Amino acid sequence: MTKIQINKILSDLLGITLIIKRDDLYPSPGGGNKARKLDYIIPPAIVKGFNALVTAGSCQSNHVRATALYAAKLGWKSVMIIHDQKPEVFQGNLKLMSLAGAELRFIDKMAVKEEMDKAMKDLQGRGFNPFYIQGGGHCVEGSYAYYEAAKELRDQAGAILPDFIVVASGTGTTQAGLEIGVREFYPGCKVLGISISRNEERGKEAILEAMKELNDFLNQPVVLPDDIFFDDRWKGEGYERTYPELLETIRWAAHTEGLILDPTYTGKAFHALCHNVKTGLIPANSTVVFWHTGGLINLLATDKI
Ligand SMILES: *Cc1c(COP(=O)(O)O)cnc(C)c1O
C-alpha cells in the first residue's frame, strides 16, 4: 500500500484538488510501478518452481532494475538483456542492476527476442528453471496489479471521489489495469493516459489488448470502451526525449512544492496535467489524482536537467 497526499500549494495554483498517489515510494529500492507489477508477476512463478529470471530493457529501465532487485531478494540468478551500448560508467538503474548481481548482456535493439530466448536456453542448460518476463513487465499480471491498485485507492481515499486520474503511459499495462479498476470502483472518473513514447493509435491498441486479457483473467465479460484517452502530444520526439517546456514544468513542480518528477515518464504526465487544466479539459475545482509512477532514478541518471 502506498500513501496518498494532497498537495495544497499546487492545488491552489492550479485551481483543482491535486492528490498524489505515491507509487514512487512503493517499497523496493527505487520504487515505482514496475515494483508493484512484479509483486503480482513473480509470486505465482515461485509457486510453480521457477528459480531464475530473464527480462529485457534499456540501461535506465526501471523494470529491469526492479526485476534484478527482486531476483537478488529471492537468491535467484537473473540474466538481463540490455538493448543499449555498454557505457563506461554505470549510473542510475544500471548501477543498481549490477550491484544486485544480475548478469547483464548488452545487445543490439533488433535482437532482443533472440537474445532473451538464448538466455533462457543458457540457463536451462546450466540446470536452472528460468522464468521469462516481457520488457516493461507487460503481461496480464502486471495489469492486474493496477486493477488491484485502483481498489487500494478507493479503500484509502474514502469519501474523496476523483474526477480524473492522470498517469504516464508506456506499454499501456498500468493504464489498462487502471481503466478496468476505475470503471468498477470509480464510475464517473476518467483515466487520462499520457504517452511517453508511442503514438496514439499504437498506444490505444496495446491498452485495449491488455484490457481484453485482464477481463479474461478476471472472468469478466469483455466490454471494450471506445473512449480510451491516450494523449500522444507530450512525448516530444519520443522515449527519453525532452523539450524546454517539459523541463520548465519539472523545475516548477520541484521548487513550488517539492514534487519531484522525471523527464522520461512522470514529468510528461504532469506537464500534460497542467496543460489540461489551463485549457479546461480538466475543469476548475476538479479532484485529480496524479498517479506518481516513479522515475527518481531516471532523473538522477540524466544530465538533461
Ligand atoms: C514504465 C514506467 C511507466 C509506464 O508504465 P507502463 O505500464 O509501461 O505503461 C510510467 N512511469 C514510470 C516511472 C515507469 O518506469
116-140 pLDDT, tens per residue?
A: 999 999 999 999 999 999 999 999 9
Q: What is residue 198's DSSP assignment?
A: S
- CA distances 252 to 84, 145, 245, 249, Å, are 32, 31, 10, 5
Which pLDDT value is given to residue 296? 98
Cell numbers at 12, concatenated: 491552489
Q: Which atom of ligand 1 is nearest to the CA of 171?
A: 8
Helices within 79-172 (DSSP H only)? 92-99, 112-125, 140-157
Which pLDDT value is given to residue 221? 86
Using the mean position of ligand 1's atoms as its centre, give its distance from the Cα of residue 299 in Å. Answer: 14
Task: Tell me how many degrees the CA angle 54-59-61 measures, rounded to the nearest 5.
Answer: 65
Q: Which residues line ligand 1 (CB under 6 A)?
A: 32-34, 62, 136, 168-175, 265-266, 293-295
**40 vs 113: CA distance, rounded Å:** 23
**70 vs 263: CA distance, rounded Å:** 25
Average pLDDT rounded to a whole number, residues 207-211? 97
Answer for the pair 34, 62: CB distance below 8 angstroms, yes or no. Answer: yes
Cell numbers at 232, concatenated: 500522444
**H/E element, 305:** none
Residue 5 CB neighbour total at 10 angstroms: 12
Out of 196, 262, 273, mutate this one to test ligand 1's pocket (max ligand atoms within 8 Å of CB): namely 196
**H/E element, 300:** helix 296-301
The pLDDT tens digits of the residues spanning 146-163 come to 999 999 999 999 999 999
**44 vs 48: CA distance, rounded Å:** 6
pTM for the whole structure: 0.97
Using the mean position of ligand 1's atoms as its centre, give its distance from the Cα of residue 125 in Å. Answer: 33
Alpha carbon 171 to chain centroid, angstroms: 8
Average pLDDT rounded to a whole number, residues 267-289? 98
What is the overall mean pLDDT for the chain? Answer: 97
